[in-house]
Amino acid sequence: MAARPRLVGLLLILPTALQLSGCATATSAPPSGGPPAPVPQSTPAGGISAAQRAQGALEGMLMGAMIGMQGGPIGAAIGAGTMLIVGAVTGRSPLGGMGGGGGGGGGGPYDPDPVEAEREAQVEEDLEKEVARGDVLEDQIQDELQRQEQLLHQIDQQEKTQASADKAINETLTEEELAARADPRTAPEPPKDRDLPLSIFDESRGVIPAKSWDNDKDIAVVKRSLDADRDGKPEEVRYFDEKSGVLIRKEQDRDYDGRIDAWTVYEKDQVVARKIDGNGDGKPDSWEVYASGRMTSREIDRDGDGVRDAFYSYSGDALVEEKHDSNNDGKPDLVVSYENRVRVRSLEDSDKDGKIDTWTTYQVVEGQEVMARTERDADKNGSPDVFETYATQKGRPVLARREEDKNGDGKIDVTSVYENGKLVRREIADPDLTPL
C-alpha cells in the first residue's frame, strides 16, 4: 500500500513537470495584486506546441503506469514517472504520433520531406498517365473489334441476299432447265462476282509490269483487297484499270488457307479466262476459257504432274467433245463426241501405242444412252477389221452380231450371231478359213 501515495504524489507533481518542460500554462500576478492572469502558451516556430507536450506527458504517464504494473505498484509508479517525462519533453505519445491527437498540427521537423512528397506526387502522376493511356488503347481495340464485327455481318448479309436471289431464280426454272444446269455436258456459265461495298476493301495503286499477266506492256491498276478475317492474307483481290476503271483481274483464296488458288481474267467486265489450283500445291491445274457468257473450253491436269491430260470443248451451251491422255504422252487415248448433250461416238487407243484402234457408236434407247456398235483394229494396220453390233436388253448392251475380216482384204470372212449374248450361229464366207 506504500506505492499508492507515491503514485498519487507523482500525479500531483505532473503540473510542475509540465511547467518545467514548457508544456503547461504559465500564470503571472497582475499589477494590482489580483488573481494571476494566464500567460499565453508559447510555441517556438517550427517546434512542438505546449498542447502537444501536455498531451504527450499525460498519455506517456498512463502508458508507463500500465506497463509498470507488471512489476507491482512500485513498477507502475516508476513507469508512469519515466514515461511522463519522456512524453513532456518529446511531445510524442507512446501510442504513436504527436501528442494532442493532431499528428503534427504545428508543422515543423515532423512534416513530410518536401523532396519525398514531390517524388510521390510524380509517381502518382505517372501512374495516372499510364492508366489513361491503357484506357485509350482499350477503346481503340474495342473500336477495331466492333468494326470487324460489322464487316463480317455485312458480308454475311450479302451472301444471304445472293442465296435468296439464287433460290428465287431456281424456283422459276422448269425441271428441264434445272436438269440442264446440273448436267456436266452443259456449258457452265462464268462465276458471278458478289456485289460488295467498296468500303470493305483496302485500296492501293500500282503498276503491273509487262509479261506478268501475259500483258504486252505495263498496266497501271487500282488494287482492292478484302481481308475479312484480318490475318494479313486477303481472301480476294480485285484489279481495276486505272484509266477506265473496269475490272480486269481477280485473285481469290477460295479455301481460306492463306494462298491464292483462283485467277480470273476480265474483258469489258466479262469473264474470259480463269485458272484454278484445285489440289492446293500453289500451281494451276485447271484452265477455263469463256465467251458470250459460256465456257468454251476447259483443260485439266488431273494427276498434278504439270501436264494437261483432260480437254473439254463446248459449243453454244453444250459439251461437244472431250479428250483424255491417261499416260501423259501428249496424245489423246480417248476422244468422246457429243450431239445435243448425248454421247454419239468415241475413239480409243486401247493399248496406248499412240494409235486409235477402237471406234464406238452410241444410241439412246428408252431414254438411256447405250453402246450400239464397235469397230476394232485387231491386226494394228490402222483400219478396223472386227465389227460388233449390240442389242439393248433391260437398259444394257448385249452382243448380237460380230463380223470379222480375217485376211485384211476389206471383206467380211466370218459372221457370228448371238442371242442373249450367247453364240447361236457362225457363218464363214472364205472356205480357206475353215475350221476356225
For residue 112, the 8-state DSSP code is P
- Provide the pLDDT confidence category of residue 166 given band limits of 50, 70 and 90: low
Domain boundary among 292, 317, 338: 292
pLDDT for residue 364? 94
Is there a domain that residue 303 lies in?
Answer: no
How many other C-beta atoms can be found within 10 angstroms of the C-beta atom of residue 91? Answer: 26
Is there a domain that residue 86 lies in?
Answer: yes
Q: Quick check: helix, strand or coil at residue 265?
A: strand
Residue indicated by cell numbers 500500282: 206
What are the CA-CA distances from residue 141 to residues 129, 209, 234 (Å)?
18, 38, 21
Is 160 in the same domain as 211?
A: no
pLDDT digits (tens, 9 = 90+) for 33-84: 444 444 444 444 445 666 677 777 677 777 776 776 666 666 667 766 777 6
Is 221 in the same domain as 288?
A: yes
Is 209 in the same domain as 273?
A: yes
pTM over 0.85: no
Helices (H) and strands (E) in the chain, counts: 6, 20
Closest C-alpha among 227, 217, 224, 226 to residue 238: 224
Is 164 in the same domain as 204?
A: no
User: Can you give the length of the chain in residues?
Assistant: 436
Cα-to-chain-centroid distance, residue 149: 12
How many other C-beta atoms can be found within 10 angstroms of the C-beta atom of residue 384? Answer: 17
Is 211 in the same domain as 143?
A: no
DSSP calls for 134-159: HHHHHHHHHHHHHHHHHHHHHHHHHH
Residue 23: burial class (beta carbons within 10 Å; 0-12, 13-18, 19+): buried
Is 430 in the same domain as 374?
A: yes
Q: Quick check: helix, strand or coil at residue 34?
A: coil
- Top pLDDT among 147 and 268 is at 268
Please determine, for residue 147, whether its predicted confidence score (pLDDT) is greater than 50: yes
pLDDT for residue 178? 57
Q: What percent of the chain has pLDDT over 90?
A: 45
Query: Given CA atoms 379, 383, 387, 392 in this order, what sign does their dihedral have?
Result: positive
Instruction: Give, for 286, the enclosing helix (H) or strand (E).
Output: strand 286-291
- Top pLDDT among 294 and 100 is at 294
Is 144 in the same domain as 84?
A: no
Calpha distance 325→216 (Å, rounded): 32
Count of structural domains within the chain: 4
Is there a domain that residue 328 lies in?
Answer: no
Strands (E), 139-261: 202-208, 219-226, 236-241, 247-252
- Do 289 and 277 touch, CB atoms closer than 8 A? no
pLDDT digits (tens, 9 = 90+) for 297-310: 999 999 999 899 99
pLDDT for residue 266? 97
Is there a domain that residue 19 lies in?
Answer: yes
How many other C-beta atoms can be found within 10 angstroms of the C-beta atom of residue 385? Answer: 21
CA angle 365, 366, 372 (to 5 degrees): 10
Q: What residues make up the domain containing 70? A: 3-27+42-101
Calpha distance 436→426 (Å, rounded): 10
